[in-house]
Amino acid sequence: MKVSPVIENKTSIKKMFMVVLWPAFLAASVATGVFFSLVDPFDLIILDQHIQIEVLGAYTVGFFGFWLLAALSSWLTALLLQKTI
């Protein structure tokens, strides 16, 4: 039985999201843990001013920032691999 190209394309898009986002999530978890083990959120300074944010908020913003960076890196890797195969 042949699968329609639309269903196959949706499946490949889902796989691509998982290939990109899952390793990025794991990398962001590790990066957040390491970063905030070394840096106290109250010591963060942006544009010569201390950040006025709760500790949990700083952890959350840091995690999503690291996740975004790792997702961009994973997406670029997947894109380059797709072009060479």
Listed residue (66, 75, 68) closest to 31, CA to CA: 66
The total number of structural domains that make up the chain: 1
* 67 domain-assigned: yes
Residue 78 scores a pLDDT above 80: yes
Task: Please answer whether residues 16 and 51 qualify as being in contact, where contact means their C-beta atoms are separated by less than 8 angstroms.
Answer: no
pTM for the whole thing? 0.78
The set of residues, in sequence order, having a beta carbon less than 8 Å from that of 24 and lying 6+ positions away, is 67, 70, 71, 73, 74
Domain containing 68: what range? 39-85
The answer to whether residue 50 sits within a structural domain is: yes
Q: Assess if residue 13 is contained within a domain.
A: no
* Residue range 10-29, pLDDT digits in tens: 667 788 888 889 999 999 99
In a domain, 14, yes or no: no
CA distance 25 to 44: 23
